[in-house]
Chains A and B, each alone.
Chain A
């Protein structure tokens, strides 16, 4: 029981670390929060909405995302897209990620 809980916590921590990169990588085109959530889930990354929405706001406050409200199907939706600042950062993050994958690959081999 304790082991399962520990495993869940560690997995959660690992996933939490990659959400920023995952979200930035998928926001090359405009998406609203729920569509991004579904897209990430379709790609295999289940993210809790309580994690994703505050994260999107934080990334916007940091200037990495831009957002705009649009009225679609009589429903207002907030669309997010990567900003110029975010576009500059993304390749660096990708490189960093590749480095981590390669390092951990060697370590766990």
Chain B
């Protein structure tokens, strides 16, 4: 029976992380012992190692046996796959469009340039688009794999079994209903922001061609990255919120309050960014050192950038305050209509 014990242990090692793994091992052992006994009776002799080997060979490789107990053998299953493709299309489109526009602006700002330089720039842009799409694919696949694992089928149905009524095309959407793609898109973009700002911050900058070599002037200063841990907390909270919205499919009082809390937290972070030193690393010196602009233009550009970013941050606070007011209004109307 030594071999059977080892075989069962080996199957146990490969079993998926499901409830009752020990139970499966015990049942498998009991079945194999029954089968061995059966064979021994038929052969008219006591069971031996050769008989065990023959039995285990027929039963199959431990990995394969363990895999039959996997209730969810997909990384991204058929339940969420259509949305995975939908989000991929949006993100690939946005990435391609964004990088193409960025390249076009660079080409226009760097002209005149030789044909060789032009082709080199276009070639690099295509490579950038491909690598950005691959990175986006990885992030999106990760988000969907997590949804597949942690959003139970009972809570997260794609309405494929619900009877579809053509009259629903005429109906105004309920204000509390969440369109399924909105939280998914929010999660994907938040993941991308987290991964770029935390692990690929060198990518954020102004790119320019110096001779035949690409150089980059960093866009964001240490004053920005000092607050990154706080921003990460805010983004993780955003992912949690969107995960909750995915599960419930509706805005509830708890999710609205959570959302308001996150927005207040975001305002605090923006205020910190606004009150400290400039979050832009662009200075007249860096622009001149990169040969992007001469002394006068560099000074004007850096002053404009400094003022511009303050206006952008101010607008971000204003926009977030408006969002909070809207959320609170919806919360009050939702409560007064008894829709908890």
Chain A residues proximal to chain B, CB less than 8 Å: 32-34, 49-51, 53-54, 57-58, 69, 75-78
B73 to A: closest C-beta gap in Å = 11
Complex: chain B residue closest to A33, CB-CB: B31
Contact of A77 among B23, B30, B68 (CB under 8 A): B30
Assembly CA distance A76 to B64 (angstroms): 24
B64 CB contacts on chain A under 8 angstroms: 50
Known: A34-B30, A34-B35, A57-B20. 20 other contacts (CB 8 A): A32-B34, A33-B27, A33-B31, A34-B34, A49-B31, A49-B59, A50-B64, A51-B68, A53-B24, A53-B28, A53-B31, A57-B24, A58-B71, A69-B26, A75-B34, A76-B30, A77-B30, A77-B34, A78-B26, A78-B27
A30 to B: closest C-beta gap in Å = 15
B26 near A76 with CB under 8 A, answer yes
B33 within 8 A of A: yes
A97 to B: closest C-beta gap in Å = 22
Q: List 16 A-B contacts (CB under 8 A).
A: A32-B34, A34-B30, A50-B64, A53-B27, A53-B28, A53-B31, A53-B68, A53-B69, A54-B69, A57-B69, A58-B71, A76-B26, A77-B30, A78-B23, A78-B26, A78-B27
Complex: chain B residue closest to A61, CB-CB: B71
Assembly CA distance A34 to B38 (angstroms): 11
A72 to B: closest C-beta gap in Å = 10
Chain A binding surface SS class: helix
Task: Tell me the B24-48 residues at the A interface (CB within 8 Å).
Answer: 24, 26-28, 30-31, 33-35
Complex: chain A residue closest to B68, CB-CB: A50
Complex: chain A residue closest to B64, CB-CB: A50
Task: Tell me the B110-129 residues at the A interface (CB within 8 Å).
Answer: none
Assembly CA distance A58 to B27 (angstroms): 15
Chain B residues proximal to chain A, CB less than 8 Å: 20, 23-24, 26-28, 30-31, 33-35, 59-60, 64-65, 68-69, 71
Q: Count A-B pairs with CB separation below 8 Å.
A: 39
Complex: chain B residue closest to A50, CB-CB: B68
A53 CB contacts on chain B under 8 angstroms: 24, 27-28, 31, 68-69
B85 to A: closest C-beta gap in Å = 27
A50 CB contacts on chain B under 8 angstroms: 60, 64-65, 68
Complex: chain B residue closest to A73, CB-CB: B37
Assembly CA distance A49 to B35 (angstroms): 11
A49-B59, A50-B65, A50-B68 known; A75 and B33 CB under 8 Å? Answer: yes
Assembly CA distance A25 to B160 (angstroms): 31
B59 CB contacts on chain A under 8 angstroms: 49
**For the complex of A and B, 5 pairs with smallest distance between CB atoms:** A50-B68, A34-B34, A34-B31, A54-B68, A78-B27
A56 to B: closest C-beta gap in Å = 9
Assembly CA distance A69 to B25 (angstroms): 13
Assembly CA distance A49 to B58 (angstroms): 11
Complex: chain A residue closest to B69, CB-CB: A54
A77 CB contacts on chain B under 8 angstroms: 30, 34
Complex: chain A residue closest to B70, CB-CB: A54
Complex: chain B residue closest to A60, CB-CB: B20
Assembly CA distance A10 to B34 (angstroms): 31
A14 to B: closest C-beta gap in Å = 19
Complex: chain A residue closest to B60, CB-CB: A50
B300 to A: closest C-beta gap in Å = 69
A34-B35, A50-B60, A57-B20 known; A75 and B68 CB under 8 Å? Answer: no
Complex: chain B residue closest to A69, CB-CB: B26
B229 to A: closest C-beta gap in Å = 42
Assembly CA distance A34 to B36 (angstroms): 11
Assembly CA distance A75 to B64 (angstroms): 25
Assembly CA distance A55 to B206 (angstroms): 59
B65 CB contacts on chain A under 8 angstroms: 50
A69 CB contacts on chain B under 8 angstroms: 26
Assembly CA distance A53 to B69 (angstroms): 8
Assembly CA distance A57 to B31 (angstroms): 15
Complex: chain A residue closest to B31, CB-CB: A34
A34 CB contacts on chain B under 8 angstroms: 30-31, 34-35
Assembly CA distance A53 to B34 (angstroms): 14
